[in-house]
Amino acid sequence: MQLFSSSATPSLFPAHELPPSPTLPLTPRHPRKPRAAKPKSTAPTSLIAVFEEQYRELRPRAPIPPLDIRFRRFTSLNTTIRLREGRLHVRLSDLLESAPDHVHHAIAHILLAKLYKKPIAPSHADRYRRHVSSEAISRQAEHIRQTRGRKRLSAPTGHHYDLNEVFESLNTRFFHGLLGRPTLTWSAHHARRMLGHYDAAHNTIVVSRVFDRLDTPRCAIEYLLYHEMLHLKHPVRVKAGRRCVHSREFQAEERLFPELEAAKAYLKRL
């Protein structure tokens, strides 16, 4: 369970060693020193006490289960909580390790409330939202997505539509050719819930493969790509601790798309 809505297994290639020459004396090999184990980033006792305090507030009559809280090098501000075999397992992004005490209280409250289906106190939700939306945390989150995250990319040329061609056509018609072209890629699956998105960390626009069909009207894929191109022109802004994704300027330009109603009607039918 996450706060607010992969690990790759390395391939091991055994080294092929040549047998020693029978005519040469073998040089005794010094035993390798065992590698020092990487320290596990476990939560300090103070954070466990924070979770216990929030647990008592939400469930005053229930015994507090054992807590296993660890920080992980996630690619985003992930936070998860699971109850397994009577133990609460909490995993937090290492980006939150140095957060102020009141933010840790907010995280504990929100995770426990979600797990036990309790109402989330607005004060805690606001504290957490303000912290993660701050300029410093947003900048760090963007950095770890760039350095830790991996983007699976496919060619922009599909079976029926070429994303590069559609982008350049829209760029000329609506942006005077001034938008720099990001990486354009089709999604891995024919997604119908997330039809497209702009990933600022990797400067990539992803379009669902559900549009790469012969019966997809041109206006539908143009509108979808036009919408994501507006995110390029109007980046996300933070106002009073809240992220503004679709500003007034963004919405005003979106309404300039000539076949807006027809495109939206098609998207609703998907």
Whether this prediction's pTM lies above 0.75 is answered by no
Q: Is residue 30 part of a domain?
A: no
Same structural domain for residues 256 and 218?
Answer: yes
| Domain with 120 in it | 45-147
Question: The tokens 């939306």 sit on which residue?
Answer: 133
Task: Out of 147, 181, 210, pick the residue that ends a domain.
Answer: 147
Kindly state whether residue 11 falls inside one of the protein's structural domains. no
119 and 216 share a domain?
no
Asked whether residue 195 is assigned to any structural domain, the reply reads yes
Total structural domains in the chain? Answer: 2
Q: Are residues 139 and 180 in the same domain?
A: no
Most confident of 68-77, 82-91, 186-195: 82-91
Q: Is the pLDDT of residue 144 over 80?
A: no
170: CATH? 3.30.2010.10
Question: In terms of domains, do 59 and 88 share one?
Answer: yes
Contact 185, 209 (CB under 8 A): no
Q: Look at residues 58, 170, 160 and name the one whose alpha carbon lies nearest to residue 109.
A: 58
CB-based contacts of 141, cutoff 8 Å, min separation 6: 76, 77, 95, 132
Residue 107: give its domain's CATH number.
Answer: 3.30.2010
Residues 126, 88: one domain?
Answer: yes
Q: Is residue 103 part of a domain?
A: yes
Distance CA 117, CA 3 (A): 13
Regarding whether 128 and 218 lie in a shared domain, the answer is no
Domain-ending residue, one of 117, 147, 177: 147
* Residues 143, 196 share a domain: no
* Contacts for 3 with CB less than 8 Å, ≥ 6 apart: 77, 78, 79, 80, 107, 110, 111, 114, 128
In a domain, 29, yes or no: no
Together in a domain, 84 and 175? no
pLDDT confidence of residue 25: 39
Residue 141 domain flag: yes
| Interval 112-128: pLDDT, tens | 999 999 999 999 999 99
In a domain, 174, yes or no: yes
What average pLDDT does range 134-146 have in this prediction?
80
What single letter denotes the amino acid at residue 242?
Answer: R
Q: In this structure, are 189 and 111 located in the same domain?
A: no
What pLDDT, on a 0 to 100 scale, did the predictor assign at position 26?
38
Based on the fold, state whether residues 188 and 229 are members of the same structural domain: yes
pLDDT at 3: 63
pLDDT for the residue numbered 119: 96
User: Does residue 249 form part of some domain?
Assistant: yes
Q: Which one of 116, 147, 178 terminates a domain?
A: 147
Q: pLDDT band at 270, cuts 50/70/90?
A: confident
33-45 pLDDT, tens digit each: 544 444 455 667 8
Do 123 and 178 reside in the same domain of the chain? no
